[in-house]
Amino acid sequence: MLELVPITDSIGTEVRGVDVTGDISARDFDRIYQAWIDTCLLLFRGQKMTPEQQIALTRRFGEITTYTRSEFNEPEHPEILVLSNITRDGKPIGSAYSGRVWHSDGHYLSDPPAGTMLYAIEVPPEGGDTWFANMMAAYDALPAAMKERIDDLKVVISRVQSRPYNYPDRPAPTPEERAAWVDMRHPIVRRHEVSGRNALYSGGNVPWRIEGMPEAESAPLVTFLQEFSVQPRFTYCHRWQPGDILLWDNRSAMHRATPYDYEAYRRLMHRTTIAGHLSTGSPVPVGEAIAS
Ligand code: SIN
């Protein structure tokens, strides 16, 4: 029998009593879907899925999409992105690591993905945990004066600006990357298309510019919001077990991966992505490209 158990007081629901490869009735699915919207994160433990079954499960939550690192898509199932440090014939089968700083997937797109599903096949005995933060709870907890100050602000998400923060080991963006990476304007308070609840959408580690505000004012404001939203009372650290499936809501949660010993241990995860506004009934994407 379906059981929905809170993971912490502020974030996540563990879904028990369900085999994701079996029939999930429409009634049970509605309850699971609502828990995802309400608590940002679903956890199913002890599951075993083929790529086809993962694709089918993802599709119940919305349209499937791909948008990044296509060289690591599972060859027979390009909807699946392989995250792994395993090599085959001397070549990596997946992306060895993913966003280690707080972020919301595809923040730099005009139409960021609504959700991301990660299925753990092999996990290291230590390290490789994933953190989550509930950005609706963070918004709700802001002082009223701060809500009033930020409610109509737009944040400018720039891949060019974020490169040295997110990848200090990589070279500066090339002229071609600069031309292709158009800045995006997003509401800093994001209204969830399904629930109508507000969430902070301020990103995790880059002092983004706020449109129309001098940098000397916008950098400390954004930094305050970023630090506010990852306080322990809004976050959860997931210690993976093989057979875990996590589904997070990028409209209301941030996450970050943590390192593990890539030489000593193997990690193999299959990731699928749920498309943005079109799969959730909103008429327009949340972000807007800024002409350069
Ligand atoms: C992700 O950010 O897509 C995956 C997180 C992880 O590998 O822990």
The predicted-structure confidence for 103-120, as pLDDT tens digits, reads as follows 999 988 888 999 999 999
Q: Ligand 1, closest atom to CA 130?
A: 8
Find the 196 Cα to ligand 1 centroid distance in Å: 27
Q: Ligand 1, closest atom to CA 97?
A: 7
Q: Ligand 1, closest atom to CA 240?
A: 8
Q: What is the pLDDT of residue 280?
A: 61
**Probe residue for ligand 1, chosen from 118, 239, 250 as the CB with the greatest number of ligand atoms within 8 Å:** 118
Strand, helix or coil at 166? Answer: helix
Segments of the chain assigned E as strands? 3-6, 13-16, 41-44, 64-65, 73-74, 77-84, 87-88, 91-92, 115-122, 130-134, 154-157, 184-187, 189-191, 198-200, 209-210, 235-238, 245-249, 253-257, 268-274, 288-289
The answer to pTM > 0.85 is yes
Who lines ligand 1 at CB under 6 A?
83, 98-99, 116, 118, 130, 255, 257, 269, 271
Which DSSP symbol is given to 266? -
Q: Ligand 1, closest atom to CA 83?
A: 7
Mean pLDDT over all residues of the chain?
93
User: Is residue 283 scored above 60 in pLDDT?
Assistant: no
Strand partners, 209: 156
pLDDT in tens, 56-111: 999 999 999 887 788 889 989 999 999 999 999 999 999 987 888 999 999 888 88
Q: Which helix (H) or strand (E) element contains residue 29?
A: helix 26-39
Half-sphere exposure (CA, 13 Å, Cβ side) for 262? Answer: 13
Strand, helix or coil at 224? Answer: helix
Find the 127 Cα to ligand 1 centroid distance in Å: 12
CATH superfamily, with its number, for domain 3-274: Clavaminate synthase-like (3.60.130.10)
Task: Give residue 194's pLDDT band: very low, low, confident or very high (50, 70, 90).
Answer: very high
Q: What is the pLDDT of residue 282?
A: 61
Q: Ligand 1, closest atom to CA 129?
A: 8
Find the 98 Cα to ligand 1 centroid distance in Å: 5
133-161: average pLDDT: 96
Structure tokens at 9: 């007081």
Top-confidence residue, 145 or 288? 145
123-148: average pLDDT: 98
How much is the CA Rg of the chain, to the nearest whole Å?
A: 19
**Probe residue for ligand 1, chosen from 97, 260, 269 as the CB with the greatest number of ligand atoms within 8 Å:** 269
pLDDT in tens, 13-56: 999 999 999 999 999 999 999 999 999 999 999 999 999 999 99
Report d(CA 258, CA 36) in Å as an integer: 23
